[in-house]
Structure 1
Amino acid sequence: MTNSAVRQDVTACILCSRNCGLSVEIENNQFKKIKGDEQHHFSQGYICQKAARLQHYQQHADRLTSPLKRQADGSFTEVTWEQAIQEIADQLVHIRNTYGGTAFTSVGGGGQGNHLGAAYGRQLLYAMKSFYAYNSLAQEKTGDFWVNGRLFGSQACHTTEDVEYADYVLFIGTNPFQAHGIPNARDTLKHIKKDPNRTMVVFDPRVTETAKQADIHVQLKPGTDSYLMSAMIAIMLREELYDQAFIQQHTHGFEEVKKAFLAVPVEQYIQKADVSVELIYQIVRDFAKAKSGCVRIDLGIQHTLNTTLNGYLEKLLYLLTGNFGKQGTNNLHTMFVPILTNTDERNPKYRRTVYHKMFPISGFFPPNILPDEILKAGDQRVRAVFVDSCNPLLTYADTAAYEQAFQSLDLLVVVDVAMTETARLAHYILPAHSQFEKWEFTGFNLEFPKNGFHLRHPLFKPQGNTLPEAEIYTRLLEAMKVIPKQFPILSKIAEKDSDKTAFLAYFTVLAASFAKNKKQIPFAASIVYRTLGKTLPDDAASTALLLPLCMQYAAQHYKAVKQAGYLGNRLNLGVKLFQAILKQRSGIVLSQHEYDDVWSLIAYKDKKIRLAIPEMLIELAQLKQQAAKLSDSFPFILLAGERRSYNANQIYRDPAWRKVDAEGRLRMNPHDAADFGVETGHTLQCVSEHGNIQVVVELDEGMRQGVVSLPHGYGIRYRDGEPIGPQLNRLTSTEHCDPLSKTPYHKYVPVRLERVDA
């Protein structure tokens, strides 16, 4: 990897959940050219403009190259790994033994495309006897996961959609042209647009790039999604447009749902959304009649009023019409990497937080409550935080609250590749390899019926004195004396067993070891890393934990793995799968299911969907009393976090990567701008009840009047300079959120605009 000659290789993009395959040219340990990898099983050569600039992630002035310790004056000094690990371990043990597990939490872990390290970082929670894990999934998706738990029997049941095969697609609160989220988004949208037998409907307050390609754009008022979707379901039920046979065969609770929605005042609710009543009737009738209808949603309805109810309503749209469990509809899928768990709050064993009494959803806690759990929980407050591949000071609601909370901690450790805004507050900064300097994968393998997985090998020699997360966390566990530094018997067996087909001897000894010492089971990842990992080729030790996952997946989905083309029996099929993952540089197809297999993925024993969710039906009834009126003090609605051509997750720190929109401009309707006497390029003050920032204006006729938008991914202090672009979360509040999931209302932030010269 040190050769300066130009060489070809393959990897994957790390900027969104699609993780498209990339074909790259490398010279002098850097990207020279990036294009799509035609050999990748899923993206097949597709690429967007953001991935082509990944060199700005790999090489920039904020890269960390050695462990840092904060000094009394706020500056940082370089320390050795040995000193940093031991000092952190000693403080962690002291905090755990003095204050208990509630004193520690992890934040982040598994940043976009950076999921291998998360499996090792999770072990630190067990070592600290903690159950607090906060991350971006809980900032965005847990309302959806909670609904899945009630509908399908487990919060680990996750839905996907067959957009590319659908005859009639509803895009609700999503702009896949920019946000992707569907296979080869821009090509897929183009194919739907060109096909006269297919229909695309977009529900969005803004004329997005996707809306411009749609057959129908429903430009509803922000925050009215629940009214509009409940009206659509009521039309379905009133006109008997539902699939009676499907409902009878596959569901429970229909009559209860029908009774609740027949009470919905259809025309009144559609008028609340400020769209055409006749148009909505037409859409419902055509969607119900479609051979294959599909619904795709995203943060537009997950970050706005009635977040969790929205997740329930969008699922009823396709479930009541029978658009589930067949090609071109919505489906469940297998999950190779167990990102989600089932933590139903009705189970008393799942403990709640101290101050908010908040329960975990799919194993995670919402970032909106963390500042309070640090500042307001008294003697049981959070005192130590590990932040991994995450920048909560900029990406979570209420930057000021996070600054105050993190500055009050006894211990803040940041594991990252860059000097982020959060890292600047840390007591210790532990520098990790970049995602292209280590073995890595992405756990977003969310496809059905064909599912895949891509293990990325290292492309570059690591910069400076950095380590992969597997090594960082394993050293910490050893320093905390949670696990020993050596496992002589296991290591010996692993070396002898490495050439065998099934690793039977190794896993037999490992199981016996765990049976004798159950306290070591939570640290299996590091134990396998230290023993079996050493026997893997190409320094792939950190990937060893994938072997037991392969064995589990092959046992659970034996027929589907065989149908994907793997030769083996029930004893060794998982090993064959693991070997293929290690070998195939452009990723593999894990499994090939049949559409009927969807029903086996439902967690309820009778494999039937529970349509009636009592909490959601109560929320539905309460919509009639809900008042979403704007005040004179804050007459505009800000859509915070818009996806654009040149914003991405915050792994891009150098602003030079942007070809356009360097300021992250505030988009507003020309009529609104005229009221302020401003044009594109002028400056306004954007003020919320919580804070204020200066913004640069851009006129956009696609914005509704009274609605403005700002992009995410800005506000970074590159090279310790001034923030570049809007720091959105100076405007947002941790309290402005869904009452059940605590998901923030980023797409419904009341603001006012002021002239800077006023």
Structure 2
Amino acid sequence: MGEWKKTQCNMCAVSCGLEMEVENNKIVNVRPDKDSPKSKDYCCRKGRAAKYYQDNADRLDYPLKRVGKEFVRISWEQAYSEIGAKAKEILDKYGPRTFALAGCGLASAQGEAPIGLTLFKKAIGTQYYYNPIGIEFMGFWWSCGKIFGSQLSVPEPDEKNNDVLIFWGSNSYVAHNFNRSRQVTREFSEDPDRMVITVDPRLSETARMSDMHIALRPGTDSLLIRALIALIIREGWQDQKFIDERVLDFDKVKSWFEGFDIEGALKVCGVPYEQAREFGKILATRNWGTHPDLGVFMGRHNTLNNYLLLMLMVITGKALVKGGSVVANTFVNMGDHTDENDPKVWHTVETDRAPVLGVYPEGVLSTEILSDNPEHLRVLFTSLTNPARSYPDSKAIEKALDKLDLLVVIDIVMTETARHADYVLPGKTAYEAYDFNMFQVTYPETVCQLKHPFIGQIGERKEDGEIWLGIAKAMGLLPPIPNSLYKAAEGDRVIYFTKLLMLVMKHKEYFDILPLIIAETLGKAMGSPTKSMMWAVLITSPLAGTDIIKRAGFTAGKKHRLLQLLPPLKKICIMDNVFQAVDDHPEGVVIGITDNDKENLRHITHKDKKFHLYNDVINDYIQNITPEKEKAELDGDVEYPFVISSGRHSDGGVNGVMRNPATYVYRQPYTLAMNPEDAQECGFVEGQKVRVTTRGGTLVAPVETSYQIARGYFFVPHHFGFTFNGETIGEGVNTLARSVDLDSITGNPFLRYIPCKVEAAEAVGK
């Protein structure tokens, strides 16, 4: 029998609490953690398969350097020395605009991010950061920034007080994209006083559990929402009292909806008028929240989809209120709100794209590398990301990676991106090193958990935060640090903070790179730079000094009574106690409790504390979302008459983080899923291999027929085309996507809506 250890899942941002049985330095069993204050004895198939992620044939154990077409093992000293020298030479010659960072943290493990981002954004001086945010959420978070005032104000359902839960472009019952998703969906579905509504072209598993299924035509989400808002306004169902009190410019946006051809729009969407009317009435009279997902985030008009969905929340009085959609309080900010109109914010040199929440759209990365502009990207560092498979236009990405002057990859396995690298550095998983995840929200509670290592040292793997720190030193970007600060780090952390404060007062230039200094000093004392980052983000948390922390029972305690006479230091004492509680409880700790009635409006950050619905960019864009123009565009592609989604959630597989085919050895999840009537009309039979062709590329996959799939809308899972233990299984579906097929507002790709055609790749029976 092994020893059971408490941790969190490392497969997605939901990060359920887990217990793992460890025997001979290997994970041998996994179960949900009943003591987790977040997931409460729940986890999905991804977490249960963690042993295949942790221990597999492709794990990296030593630093590697490309020599010709081969990789050779080198020492960490050589890796740091050569990488540091090459990066510094390019930085001095071409400047920081030629550098970019990609990844730097899984959705479930962001402990390295403060160190890596500080190195690149502050020490090196580049703004170019690429992260999965830039392939999923740009339209959503951009819209939050315009309407609420901050891209950090991201709403989610108030599930404890909602009586209607809406899944829009989401199959959450299978995707597990929010906490305890299956349990929550069942609870709503089985409660006679509550409802589940799914808006999705497919009859998905979630849709089959729903009280109402809006089976709209693929790609018509914006048209449908515009029609719903127009219907609500025409019928006078909007929450006018809420609008009068909290909305700045409702009268200005009414013109977007008055006189709109509602019936014509619904006909194009394929939604019966009576069903839309019933849906609109529910939106106007019930307490509802929505879980949008990739069908909205990566579909046609994806930024407008999100903008109108947020507007729908506002005009029905369900935005940032109890029983509607609320903003959960995280213990660390997800990033920096960035305004594309701020002259200090860089735009990409070739595509003129701006960041959202400090992140640039991933679809433009290959173009920015392949550009002939003198300031094109020359250096790319990646950590725990695989652009060669996860970014649009895989072939262009691979060509771009080969053009770079320097590509350094930090990862746990030899990914397709790593195969193009100059240096590959072996990182540790969150089961081998300290780590944490910022998405610790079970509204109204905020949970905080520090993942503790329980797998012993293997090979020469290093914690990612330690690797970033080593690169900073090798580039000469870490300033001199007095021995007194190292000494202080070995003792009381509050006293250490005061010493750190005095150092910054003496050397103001140190302020911007404080995470590097903390990682070097406190990280050394703790034996982990990442663990020191947990302390750093807690003492600087946006929740510090608020009643949210106080309600969870945290006080300054009896130590440092003199220091507590200064309010800022009293906050530090409280948050240091929070850190200690988190460190002592690997199952997680509730560190904050939100007051529904008092603290939701703190997330409206416009100076007038009102929702701002009008936007010039949206005003121009929405004029084209009419029944006539949408029908013409949707019906106009004769050469590519079908649509394919790059990605599909199913119980047959896991995700791209896993890679390991042992998780689906008894299943065949690599398929082209289509409606049986489409298959019959095309002359295909179950299991027959067919070729999918788009303007971007082609792939071959066996047919899977299912009435869950909408007519004309095909699906291929995302997590294939990986080479594992020398064998490549399936093809990477992003070979079908083009880097030019991006939302015109934010640059988010249309990965869930790619026009295509299909043909037999082999005769039946072959």
Question: TM class, shorter-chain normalised?
Answer: over 0.9
1:645 aligns with 2:661: no
1:600 aligns with 2:587: no
State the shift of 1:695 in Å: 0.8
Equivalent in 748, 757, 762 of residue 757 of structure 1: 762
State the shift of 1:558 in Å: 2.2
Equivalent in 488, 491, 511 of residue 486 of structure 2: 491
Aligned residue in 2 for 1:89: 84
Q: TM-score, normalised by structure 1?
A: 0.95
Deviations 1:635-689 (A, max 9, x none): 1110221111143332212211115543511111111111232222111011111
In structure 1, distance between residues paired with 2:439 and 2:246 = 27
1:182 aligns with 2:178: yes
1:550 aligns with 2:538: yes
In structure 1, distance between residues paired with 2:723 and 2:127 = 33
Aligned residue in 2 for 1:363: 358
State the shift of 1:80 in Å: 0.2
State the shift of 1:494 in Å: 2.4
In structure 1, distance between residues paired with 2:666 and 2:159 = 30
- Secondary structure in structure 1 of the residue aligned to 2:624: helix
Larger deviation, residues 358-367 vs 527-536: 527-536
State the shift of 1:495 in Å: 2.7
- Secondary structure in structure 1 of the residue aligned to 2:647: strand
In structure 2, distance between residues paired with 1:669 and 1:181 = 25
Equivalent in 633, 638, 643 of residue 632 of structure 1: 638
Aligned residue in 2 for 1:201: 197
Aligned residue in 2 for 1:717: 723
Say if 1:555 and 1:574, in contact at 8 Å, map to a contact too.
no
In structure 1, distance between residues paired with 2:319 and 2:152 = 18
Aligned-partner residue type, residue 546 of structure 1: M
In structure 1, distance between residues paired with 2:28 and 2:160 = 33
Q: Which runs of 5+ in 1 are unaligned?
A: none
In structure 1, distance between residues paired with 2:382 and 2:168 = 33
Aligned-partner residue type, residue 71 of structure 2: F
Aligned residue in 2 for 1:119: 114
Equivalent in 721, 724, 746 of residue 751 of structure 2: 746
The number of equivalent residue pairs is 744
- Secondary structure in structure 1 of the residue aligned to 2:178: coil
In structure 2, distance between residues paired with 1:449 and 1:164 = 9
Deviations 1:379-433 (A, max 9, x none): 1111110011000100110001001100011100000000000000000000001
- Secondary structure in structure 2 of the residue aligned to 1:531: helix
In structure 2, distance between residues paired with 1:753 and 1:496 = 66
In structure 2, distance between residues paired with 1:378 and 1:529 = 36
In structure 2, distance between residues paired with 1:568 and 1:136 = 38
In structure 2, distance between residues paired with 1:189 and 1:272 = 30
Say if 1:437 and 1:458, in contact at 8 Å, map to a contact too.
yes
Aligned residue in 2 for 1:513: 503
Say if 1:663 and 1:725, in contact at 8 Å, map to a contact too.
no
Aligned-partner residue type, residue 525 of structure 1: P
State the shift of 1:260 in Å: 1.7
In structure 2, distance between residues paired with 1:488 and 1:678 = 72
Say if 2:38 and 2:441, in contact at 8 Å, map to a contact too.
no
State the shift of 1:169 in Å: 2.0
Aligned residue in 2 for 1:621: 623
Equivalent in 543, 546, 549 of residue 561 of structure 1: 549
Equivalent in 157, 162, 172 of residue 161 of structure 1: 157
Say if 2:97 and 2:376, in contact at 8 Å, map to a contact too.
yes
Aligned residue in 2 for 1:212: 208
- Report matched runs for 1:649-728 at 5 Å: 649-659=655-665, 661-721=667-727, 723-728=728-733
1:314 aligns with 2:316: no
- Secondary structure in structure 1 of the residue aligned to 2:374: helix
- Secondary structure in structure 2 of the residue aligned to 1:429: strand
Say if 1:160 and 1:447, in contact at 8 Å, map to a contact too.
no
Aligned-partner residue type, residue 376 of structure 1: S
In structure 1, distance between residues paired with 2:208 and 2:543 = 46
Aligned-partner residue type, residue 262 of structure 2: V
Aligned residue in 2 for 1:146: 142
In structure 2, distance between residues paired with 1:692 and 1:439 = 42
Equivalent in 455, 463, 470 of residue 465 of structure 2: 470
State the shift of 1:337 in Å: 2.1
State the shift of 1:99 in Å: 0.3
Q: Cα RMSD over matched residues? A: 1.7
- Secondary structure in structure 2 of the residue aligned to 1:622: coil
Deviations 1:57-92 (A, max 9, x none): 0111110000000002x1000000000011000001
State the shift of 1:142 in Å: 1.0
- Secondary structure in structure 1 of the residue aligned to 2:745: coil
In structure 2, distance between residues paired with 1:100 and 1:515 = 29
In structure 1, distance between residues paired with 2:333 and 2:543 = 15
- Report matched runs for 1:201-350 at 5 Å: 201-290=197-286, 292-350=287-345
Say if 1:669 and 1:705, in contact at 8 Å, map to a contact too.
yes
In structure 2, distance between residues paired with 1:740 and 1:488 = 50
In structure 2, distance between residues paired with 1:427 and 1:554 = 39
1:574 aligns with 2:580: no
Deviations 1:353-379 (A, max 9, x none): 111121111101011111111111421
- Secondary structure in structure 1 of the residue aligned to 2:11: coil
Say if 1:62 and 1:653, in contact at 8 Å, map to a contact too.
no
1:730 aligns with 2:726: no
State the shift of 1:532 in Å: 2.1
In structure 1, distance between residues paired with 2:761 and 2:40 = 49
- Secondary structure in structure 2 of the residue aligned to 1:379: coil
Aligned-partner residue type, residue 256 of structure 1: K
Deviations 1:111-164 (A, max 9, x none): 231210122111231332211001111111011111111111122222222235
Deviations 1:554-601 (A, max 9, x none): 764521101011132751211111111111111111211111201122
- Sort the Cα spacing of 1:548 and 1:756 in 2 relative to 1 into closer, same or farther, 3 A: closer
Q: Which runs of 5+ in 2 are unaligned?
A: 558-566
Say if 1:222 and 1:747, in contact at 8 Å, map to a contact too.
no
Aligned residue in 1 for 2:563: none
In structure 1, distance between residues paired with 2:418 and 2:33 = 34
- Sort the Cα spacing of 1:610 and 1:446 in 2 relative to 1 into closer, same or farther, 3 A: farther
Larger deviation, residues 568-577 vs 178-187: 568-577
In structure 2, distance between residues paired with 1:557 and 1:33 = 41
Matched-pair identity in % = 30
Say if 1:663 and 1:696, in contact at 8 Å, map to a contact too.
no
Deviations 1:243-294 (A, max 9, x none): 111111122111112222113211111111112111000111122111x111
